[in-house]
Amino acid sequence: MRLPAVLLALLMVPATLLSQDQTVRIRAATVIDGTGKTLRNATIVVRGSKITSIETASAGVATYDLATMTVIPGMIDVHSHLGWHFDKDGRYAARRGTPAEEILYSAENAYVTLMAGFTTIQSPGQANDVELRDAIARGLFPGPRVLTSIRQLNEGSGTPDEIRTKVQQLKKDGADVVKIFASASIRDGGKQTMTSAQLEAACGEAKAQGLRTMVHAHSPESIKASVDAGCDQIEHGVFADEPTLKLMADKGVYFDPNVGVVLQNYLRNKAKYLGIGNYNEEGFAYMEKGLALNATMIKKAVATPNLKMVLGTDAVAGAHGHNADEIVERVRQGNQKPMDAIISATSLAARSMRLDKTIGTLAVGYDADLVALDGDPLADITAVTRVAFVMKGGKVYKHIAPATTR
């Protein structure tokens, strides 16, 4: 079901119409709680920003009767670049606009991400994320909750001591997570770039500051060096092999492979990127090969016992709002069970962000972040791309009435 934007806007319930203490009852055919449980004919009761009860076979009148739909927790993308956009000339713009233009592009990406059912994202990260995060948190501007690294660390970030100082500054500047580049881009072959000493300084100091670390790493050596350095989460991992996947599982390191959105988006939008930086023909050839490498890797990752695989897209310019394609492709290419894919995008993603006491699960006391899907994702995973209703923190941001004819 795809409705024209104008109609969609008319059907939206303005968030401001709902007062903070109003009780809202949302009834749905199926509720998937985010931890693996499924309820039939359930009513979720929300007061203010929290879920106050979940009733089955309730006779009460529903504020929103989502009849045939499936309600799941608001989805979480642990790796999305809200600041990436195409410019007025239709080409990828690496933050070349005025500050006002740049923040508005970020705001647009935040809006479409929320409309796609993602109520929390983690940005690995840029300076104006701080203002964006704080503006959304004020509660009027529609967007997902934002967690940001503000800046990144890489092989050029200096000596171990200099890296420690940089991590301390990130903490002072309000970073939620530290983003580290341990390997080159897939467009440059993905080899390890930072030394083990640099990685130990970055991840060790982050731990001392109470900050989590997410590490861009493609090659097995760069992943192993990051795990050995005590880093918390590995991003991408295109070349991750069985021993490397098992190592992450054994050490309890989160793994965020990106197999369904980012490369497909680059290839689809090749003309908009080509000729800028390492977006050259060689880089695109690497990315084309990356599709097959990802398909092989994700099957192995899904088959690795106890691997804590979280949902992240690496969404860049052109990809925002398509985040749920990652869930679909993990099921399609990786043979992941639909329920496991949903858990990875909800309660497990929340746990990776240390937010598992407040979001990612539909249960009493949790923030009322929930989305309704047109269909049953356990039977047809593409239902995660058909988001008809979005509530974040008890406010409704999207509500498309069910189609009367199909």
Question: Is the separation of the CB atoms in 351 and 120 below 8 Å?
Answer: no
Nearest CB to Zn ion, comparing residues 218 and 386: 218
Q: How far is the CB of 320 from Zn ion (least distance, A)?
A: 13
Stretch that binds Zn ion, among 35-43, 127-135, 312-320, 331-339 (CB under 5 A): 312-320
Stretch that binds Zn ion, among 115-123, 185-193, 282-290, 309-317 (CB under 5 A): 309-317
H or E element at residue 268: helix 262-268
Q: How far is the CB of 216 from Zn ion (least distance, A)?
A: 7
Nearest CB to Zn ion, comparing residues 181 and 389: 181
Nearest CB to Zn ion, comparing residues 314 and 367: 314
| Cα dihedral value 125, 128, 130, 133, nearest 10 | -90
Q: How far is the CB of 255 from Zn ion (least distance, A)?
A: 15
Q: Is the peptide bond before 277 cis (omega within 30 degrees of 0)?
A: no
Nearest CB to Zn ion, comparing residues 102 and 314: 314
Nearest CB to Zn ion, comparing residues 217 and 345: 217
367 belongs to the binding site for Zn ion (CB under 5 A): no
CA–CA gap between residue 311 and residue 257 (Å, rounded): 8
Q: How far is the CB of 218 from Zn ion (least distance, A)?
A: 12
- Which parts of 168-314 are beta strand (E)? 177-181, 212-217, 233-236, 254-256
77 belongs to the binding site for Zn ion (CB under 5 A): no
Stretch that binds Zn ion, among 24-32, 307-315, 324-332, 338-346 (CB under 5 A): 307-315
| Closest residue to bound Zn ion by CB | 314
Question: Is the separation of the CB atoms in 54 and 44 below 8 Å?
Answer: yes
Stretch that binds Zn ion, among 51-59, 69-77, 128-136, 313-321 (CB under 5 A): 313-321
CA–CA gap between residue 348 and residue 216 (Å, rounded): 19
Cα distances (Å, whole numbers) of residue 111 to 23, 250, 397: 25, 38, 10
Q: Which positions from 314 to 343 touch Zn ion by CB under 5 A, shown as an x/- string? A: x-----------------------------
Question: Is the separation of the CB atoms in 322 and 112 below 8 Å?
Answer: no
Q: How far is the CB of 322 from Zn ion (least distance, A)?
A: 15
Closest CA to 227 of 242, 239, 241, 217: 217
User: How many residues bind Zn ion, per CB under 5 A?
Assistant: 1
DSSP β-ladder status, 23-32 and 70-73 = parallel
Q: How far is the CB of 28 from Zn ion (least distance, A)?
A: 34
Q: Which positions from 177 to 216 touch Zn ion by CB under 5 A, shown as an x/- string? A: ----------------------------------------
Question: Is the separation of the CB atoms in 184 and 286 below 8 Å?
Answer: no
Nearest CB to Zn ion, comparing residues 218 and 272: 218
256 belongs to the binding site for Zn ion (CB under 5 A): no
Question: Is the separation of the CB atoms in 110 and 103 below 8 Å?
Answer: no
Task: Please give the backbone phi and psi of residue 20, each rounded to the nearest 5 degrees, phi first.
Answer: -60, -30
Q: Which residue ranges make up the site for Zn ion (CB under 5 A)?
A: 314
